[in-house]
Chains A and B, each alone.
Chain A
Amino acid sequence: MEFSLDEVEDEKPNRAAQKKVDKEAEEEGDLIEQLAAEKEVEGPEEPAPKREETVEEIYAVQQIYALRLKRFELAPSAVFTVNDKYLKHPGLGVAANYWFTNVLALGVNFIWYDWGNPLERGTTLVQQIQRSFRLGVPINEWQFGLWANFTYVPFYGKFSAFRKFLFQWDSYLIGGVGIMRTKPIPVFDPEIREFNWDTRVSFNIGIGLRIFLTRYLTFFTEFRDYMFLEQFENVNVDPANRDDPSTWLAGSSTFFNNLTVQFGFTLFLPIKFEYRLPK
């Protein structure tokens, strides 16, 4: 590279201007301004393009706290019947679901109801009805229920507690079909009548709330309605055919709603999961 005289001469005013800018910048201690001034000095003397302010909005989208996709869910729970005024039906349940999308799962749930003498779980209302109205109340005990269910999660959110702690939760709809094993408790002719467990087809629908304690452990509560056609004891006793088992059951079935509240914990497996991020 060769330097001509013109270039040297041309450089003098530039250097002088540069020194002036450097001096001013040093006095102000503004490096950014200095760099900007350098650009002004070094740049061509063309009119600067008109600057237009553009506002670019950038949204930060938080990752879903816990993914359900391709995970198994194991959920033990305590079950309480809330609408049977005559007999309490506490149960222990367990559910297993597989989430084949992040909002849709297929699974089963099982509830065991048969704990000791059912009459010990009877409410005082049964005795009141017998005393005050001279009426017997046909009541059935339950052994277990088993259902296959679909679960769908339409609601997902997060709550803050006292503006300090954040926790994630979701609400889901659940429904399915299965069986209930029940049998009448002989009330009207207990000396003769004796019943065996029988299977009823049962449907259920419900809504649940799940609070994530960690990414794999949640607390949940569910409101489920387990519906089935119940077969109660015949309230009439035929003296002529008292020993005939075909006369022991009521002539028609009764549509029964077993409205329950369930509380439990959910364990998602595998415990760890990976977010799949777009490249």
Chain B
Amino acid sequence: MIKLAQQTLLRISIMVAVASCLVVGDGLRSGTHSASAQEVQVSGPLADAPAVMRLRLWRQNRLQLEPFFAFTFGDDYSRALILGGELRFSFLDWLGIGGWGGGSVANLNTDLTRQVRDKGVTTNRNRLSLPSRENFPEQIGRMNWLAGVDLHFTPFRGKLAMFQKVFFDADLDFFVGAAFVGITERSDTTIEPGPPQFCNPPADDVGCLESQLARSKRTVVAPSFGIAFQAYFKEFMGIAIRWRAFPFKWNTGGTDEAGPNGDFPDGSIDSSDRQRQFNQMMSIGFIFILPPKIKTTD
């Protein structure tokens, strides 16, 4: 074991203390230095420059007219093909209001509707829901027209390269609002036990065959929301691919699904048989913008 003189130990202690002070002090200074380095601001011509310069204001104070073609999807019994249009004015480049509307030009039955028409079975237990399988396509609910007003947010916008050759501006449009949907459903009726079973109204409808064809129309108010991808090819023209959801309750099958207290079956077709459906549609439209000349920021 090496014995060190007291004075040597004192020297070593002083050196260690000094070294510690230097290390700690340097460390503190380093910390201070790095903290100050983060405060260094960009200088030169880019100082205080915005993230985007010469930004093209595609929407601000411009009117957008968009004829579109749409189709509903995810439907149980019938899909609607819709032709319509949308008109939108944007106060800011990222905020605007708009109205839209369209009418069903055709309704396509789903495979389930065809299966029921071909293979459905009518008994005394389900006569109200399916009086005859052949006329089942006539009893299902259908959309006739749609309209709505929306608030549009366009927080994300940018540019897009396609195949590294074609470049265009694009944005994501989020919207929320109210939709008004004109629908046709099977009319209210009640089955009487019989025998023979008959529905009322219409009066004394034996077998409920007439009630199966009776239709009633109403307008539904529903929340509406969605997202659209918009791309612009000219200063006054673009394309929009839009997904929209507008959930509301309706009786899509024209069947007896529930009673006033949730009982099934209650022997009546009425408002208690309406079930919440998450109605959705996709649309593709062409955007025409006025005034045709676009403005840019500095």
Chain A residues near B160 (CB, 8 Å)?
A: 155-157
- Whether A160 sits at the interface, judged by CB under 8 Å, is yes
- Whether A166 sits at the interface, judged by CB under 8 Å, is yes
Q: Looking at the complex, which one of B74, B120, B159 makes contact with A133 (CB distance below 8 Å)?
A: B120
Q: B163 — nearest CB in chain A belongs to which residue?
A: A154
Chain A residues near B292 (CB, 8 Å)?
A: none
A-binding segment of B17-25, B123-131, B197-205: B123-131
Chain A residues near B74 (CB, 8 Å)?
A: 82-83, 85
Chain B residues near A3 (CB, 8 Å)?
A: none
Chain B residues near A161 (CB, 8 Å)?
A: 155-156
Q: B172 — nearest CB in chain A belongs to which residue?
A: A159
Q: How many Å from the CB of A214 to the closest CB on chain B?
A: 18
Question: Contact at B163–A133, with CB atoms within 8 Å?
Answer: no
Q: How many Å from the CB of B71 to the closest CB on chain A?
A: 14
Question: Contact at B264–A135, with CB atoms within 8 Å?
Answer: no
Question: Contact at A132–B50, with CB atoms within 8 Å?
Answer: no
- Whether B119 sits at the interface, judged by CB under 8 Å, is yes
- Whether B115 sits at the interface, judged by CB under 8 Å, is yes
Question: Contact at A134–B156, with CB atoms within 8 Å?
Answer: no
- Whether A129 sits at the interface, judged by CB under 8 Å, is yes
- Whether A125 sits at the interface, judged by CB under 8 Å, is yes
Interface residues of B in 148-186 (CB under 8 A from A): 155-164, 170-172
Q: Looking at the complex, which one of B121, B253, B256 makes contact with A135 (CB distance below 8 Å)?
A: B121
Bound complex: CA A154 to CA B94 (Å): 27
- Whether A162 sits at the interface, judged by CB under 8 Å, is yes
Question: Contact at A134–B264, with CB atoms within 8 Å?
Answer: no
- Whether B76 sits at the interface, judged by CB under 8 Å, is yes
Question: Contact at A160–B121, with CB atoms within 8 Å?
Answer: no
Question: Contact at A159–B158, with CB atoms within 8 Å?
Answer: yes
Q: How large is the interface on A (under 10, 10 to 19, 20 to 34, 35 or more residues)?
A: 20 to 34
Question: Contact at B52–A163, with CB atoms within 8 Å?
Answer: yes
Chain A residues near B130 (CB, 8 Å)?
A: 132-134
Interface residues of A in 15-59 (CB under 8 A from B): none
Q: Looking at the complex, which one of B51, B121, B125 makes contact with A165 (CB distance below 8 Å)?
A: B51
Q: How many Å from the CB of B44 to the closest CB on chain A?
A: 15
Bound complex: CA A164 to CA B163 (Å): 27
Bound complex: CA A161 to CA B264 (Å): 51
Bound complex: CA A125 to CA B75 (Å): 11
Question: If the complex has contacts A129-B112, A133-B129, A134-B121, are A157 and B158 also in contact, measured as CB distance less than 8 A?
Answer: yes
Interface residues of B in 98-116 (CB under 8 A from A): 112, 115-116
Question: If the complex has contacts A132-B129, A133-B120, A133-B121, are A156 and B155 also in contact, measured as CB distance less than 8 A?
Answer: no
Question: Contact at A131–B129, with CB atoms within 8 Å?
Answer: yes
Chain B residues near A163 (CB, 8 Å)?
A: 50-52, 55
- Whether B66 sits at the interface, judged by CB under 8 Å, is no
List 26 A-B residue pairs with CB atoms under 8 Å apart, sorted by A's residue number. A82-B74, A85-B74, A125-B76, A129-B112, A132-B126, A132-B253, A132-B257, A133-B133, A134-B123, A135-B115, A154-B162, A155-B161, A155-B162, A156-B161, A156-B164, A157-B170, A159-B158, A159-B170, A159-B171, A160-B51, A160-B52, A160-B157, A163-B51, A163-B52, A163-B55, A165-B51
Given contacts A132-B256, A159-B171, 18 further A-B contacts (CB under 8 A): A82-B74, A85-B112, A125-B76, A129-B116, A132-B253, A132-B255, A133-B126, A134-B123, A134-B130, A135-B115, A135-B116, A135-B119, A159-B156, A159-B158, A161-B156, A162-B94, A163-B50, A164-B51
Interface residues of A (CB under 8 A from B): 82-83, 85, 103, 125, 128-129, 131-135, 154-166
